[in-house]
Amino acid sequence: MRHLARTLGLATATVGLAAGALVPVASAAPPDHANGHQDTLRRQAPRDLEIGSAVWGARDLVGHDKRHPTQHQRVLAREFGSLTPENDMKWAEVHPEPGVYDFTGADAVVDFARAHGQEVRGHTLLWHSQNPQWVLDAAESWTCEEARDVLEDHVRTVVGRYAGEIYEWDVANEIIQDDWDVGGVRLRTEANPFLRACADDPVALIGDTFRWAHEADPQARLFLNDYNAEGINEKTDAYYALAQELLDDGVPLHGFGAQGHLSLMYDFDPSMQANFERFAALGLDVAVTEADVRVPIEPGADGPTPEQVALHAERHDAMLQACLNVLSCTSFTVWGFPDARSWVPDVFPGEDWATIFEDDYSPKPAHAAMLASLRDATPGVSPRRPGR
């Protein structure tokens, strides 16, 4: 194990194709942190674990002025060693029209990361949601070959543009759905336009998506990623079987990501570490890719109760502990900050306060709990990731 044993008691502590490829520059060292900011998540993380955040480049980083950063940019650079484009690499943003790619937001994320000595996680290449209207319209009459051609062009173009710049890619996102009305989980062949067109053999298309991404950037680690995938359950059993099938077929699958979108309305699944361990035993990396913890707020309340604050911290720390306890856990990413920028209130009415920073950018107790766990973690470089 990479960490020293701890309890969860700490939780209560205080365009056409955009012009030319990006020009690589020497990696910058993490910025100096004056004014008492030495004790940050990125500085306390073990050397083989990236602590990251989602960021929306088109909203938060375009026009980044290194001399006059916003408060959001200062916290992003100070606290995190990895960035995930929250929306900028999704189809609707990066490929809005047939043959047209808009890399404005994605480039902003990669440029910011390079300037601040950060890594980038790519998100995402094959997903049923946030596809542009042209894809939804064309998919109504696609043959499998037509769908494959469109998907291959997209994967090779986007992954190839950032070859050598992105260390992990969420290649296939949410491709298995929980659908209890039909007797259990299944591949999302109805909602995903590409899988629907190739419904006779969707696994072959999934495998080829990984192959195209690997050919476009052989250095990147390629992941399956989903929600409700933290513990051992019917859905992760299906992913485990899918991972075995892909690996047996020689597919360059390198990792499994559990998103980590939790809510205090439900109990925490204590089998998260065991779930990660079984995927690691297949030779895969594992990651927490989109962590946040939703808090139900009573109507008229000013915010969460003290008990909810403590549980919010405990759940973030429990996910981090599961990651720290598995050597092959390569990254832990929170899904943006602060609450004013969170997706949660719009999607889950009545729930809020999901991130680890207040709207004035002061850290919540969840940040303190995570920081304490990272301090206790045994540093070291994973033999599976030499040089990182």
Q: For residues 153 and 52, give the distance between their C-alpha atoms in angstroms, rounded to a whole number.
A: 29
Tokens 């062009």: give the residue: 153
Q: At what angle do helices 202-216 and 234-248 cross, to 10 degrees?
A: 60
Choosing from 50, 119, 165, 174, the catalytic residue is 174
Confidence of residue 9 (pLDDT cuts 50, 70, 90): very low
Read off the pLDDT of residues 232-246 as tens digits, 9 standing for 90 and up. 999 999 999 999 999
| Euclidean distance between CA atoms 71 and 320, whole angstroms | 26
Average pLDDT over residues 263-288: 98
Q: What is the pLDDT of residues 103-150, one digit of tens each?
A: 999 999 999 999 999 999 999 999 999 999 999 999 999 999 999 999
Distance CA 342, CA 99 (A): 31
What was the pLDDT predicted at 179? 75
CATH code: domain 30-376 is 3.20.20.80
Q: Given pLDDT bands bounded at 50, 70 and 90, which one contains residue 178?
A: confident
SS (H, E, C) 165-232: CCCEEEEEECCEECCHHHCCCEECCCCCHHHHHCCCCHHHHHHHHHHHHHHHCCCCEEEEEECCCCCC
- 290 belongs to the catalytic site: yes
Q: pLDDT (tens digit, 9 = 90+) per residue, 83-104? A: 999 999 999 999 999 999 999 9
- Condensed to tens digits (0 to 9), the pLDDT of residues 147-172 reads 999 999 999 999 999 999 999 999 99
Q: How far apart are CA 290 and CA 74, in angstroms?
A: 21
Looking at 165, 230, 290, 351, which residue is catalytic?
290
Rounded to 5°, angle at Cα 288 from 287 and 292: 170
Residues in the chain: 388
Enumerate the domain spans of the chain.
30-376
User: Phi and psi at residue 153, in whole multiples of 5°?
Assistant: -60, -45
Q: What is the pLDDT of residues 219-231, one digit of tens each?
A: 999 999 999 999 9
Average pLDDT over residues 281-298: 98
Q: What is the pTM of this model?
A: 0.89
174 has catalytic annotation: yes
